[in-house]
């Protein structure tokens, strides 16, 4: 089977994109394809696979598969790249349009450079979910998780839990370079208190307008960036009174910067770049 693909990245968070407006794939092979394509030694190499497809309730749809073959609910960097691809290939013919994920439907706005290529995308990510059982995280239903003590691997962290259509748990640290990303990230990801697993973020709040951020992504491990995680980080910093709601916050990820704004209407707006790396054909 010959599968045309485009590889794209948002701040280094790279996925293999397959256009299901042009290509058909068997449903029972999607997880296998994600694993094989993502393999950096025998495949293309990526953080996972994203399918761009027709959607009944939106202008375009997107499905996310992590590099371990598991299917994700949402991906902020993936949304920006999907918006770029959909606009530049003519799937949509307007600069504001909707994208449907397994989590929700969001609005995307694309901005072109002088060469009529999309170089910046803003996404209305919707409102964060804070109820514990909706993260989901075990514990008393109807409560929120804000600066809550969390015992793991003989250490006590203080965590805040947020869902952006996918689960995140955020810990604030004094220095981002000292964050236990690779030691505690994989442990927390599979902790039994998170029945669906969790994305693990460590953040250093520099000021009321600036945050350093690192992430261990569920199903993918350390990645250069996580758009939904950056949104969750700003929510967590706001809930812990480290930044002010309504301000535009620059979040410094390993792969670059995102601008995140949690507006007074409770919606979170994410702005950042999206880049095409390569295109080709994968033989499966």
Asked if 75 is an active-site residue, the reply is: yes
| DSSP codes joined into one string, 234-260 | HHHHHHTTSS-TTSEEEEEETTEEEEE
Which phi and psi angles does 95 have, rounded to 5°?
A: -85, -15
CA dihedral 254, 274, 51, 191 (to 10 degrees): 20
Among the listed residues 49, 75, 198, 211, the single catalytic one is 75
Which phi and psi angles does 237 have, rounded to 5°?
A: -65, -35
CA 197 to chain centre: 15
Q: Are 277 and 9 in contact (CB under 8 A)?
A: yes
How far, in Å, CA of 206 to CA of 117, rounded?
Answer: 33
**Distance between the two ends of the chain, CA-based, in angstroms?**
5
How far, in Å, CA of 282 to CA of 5, rounded?
Answer: 7
Which phi and psi angles does 79 have, rounded to 5°?
A: -65, -45
Among the listed residues 44, 161, 226, 234, the single catalytic one is 226
Q: Are 125 and 268 in contact (CB under 8 A)?
A: yes
Asked if 81 is an active-site residue, the reply is: no
Q: Is the peptide bond before 136 cis (omega within 30 degrees of 0)?
A: yes
Give the SS3 label for residue 182.
Answer: helix
CA-to-CA dists, residue 76 to 92, 156, 165, 168, 203, angstroms: 19, 29, 10, 13, 18
Q: Which residues are catalytic?
A: 75, 226
């Amino acid at each position: 089977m010959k599968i045309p693909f485009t590889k794209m990245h948002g701040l280094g968070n790279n996925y293999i994109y397959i256009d299901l407006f042009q290509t058909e794939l068997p449903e029972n092979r999607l997880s296998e394809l994600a694993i094989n394509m993502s393999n950096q030694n025998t495949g293309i190499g990526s953080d996972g696979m994203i399918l761009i497809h027709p959607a009944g309730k939106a202008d375009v749809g997107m499905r996310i598969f992590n590099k371990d073959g598991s299917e994700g609910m949402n991906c902020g960097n993936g949304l920006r790249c999907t918006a770029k691809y959909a606009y530049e290939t003519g799937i949509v013919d307007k600069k504001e349009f909707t994208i449907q994920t397994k989590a929700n439907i969001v609005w995307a706005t694309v901005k072109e450079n002088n060469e009529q290529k999309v170089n910046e995308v803003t996404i209305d990510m919707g409102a964060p979910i804070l109820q514990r059982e909706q993260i989901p995280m075990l514990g008393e239903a109807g409560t929120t998780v804000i600066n809550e003590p969390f015992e793991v691997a003989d250490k006590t962290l203080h965590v805040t839990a947020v869902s952006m259509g996918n689960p995140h748990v955020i810990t604030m640290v004094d220095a981002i370079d000292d964050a236990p990303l690779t030691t505690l990230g994989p442990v927390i990801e599979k902790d039994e208190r998170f029945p669906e697993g969790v994305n693990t973020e460590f953040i250093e709040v520099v000021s009321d307008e600036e945050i350093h951020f690192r992430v261990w992504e569920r199903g993918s491990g350390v990645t250069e960036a996580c758009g939904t995680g950056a949104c969750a980080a700003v929510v967590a910093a706001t809930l812990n009174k480290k930044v002010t709601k309504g301000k535009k916050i620059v979040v410094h990820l390993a792969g670059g910067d995102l601008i995140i704004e949690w507006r007074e209407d409770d919606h979170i707006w994410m702005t950042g770049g999206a880049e095409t790396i390569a295109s080709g054909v994968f033989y499966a």
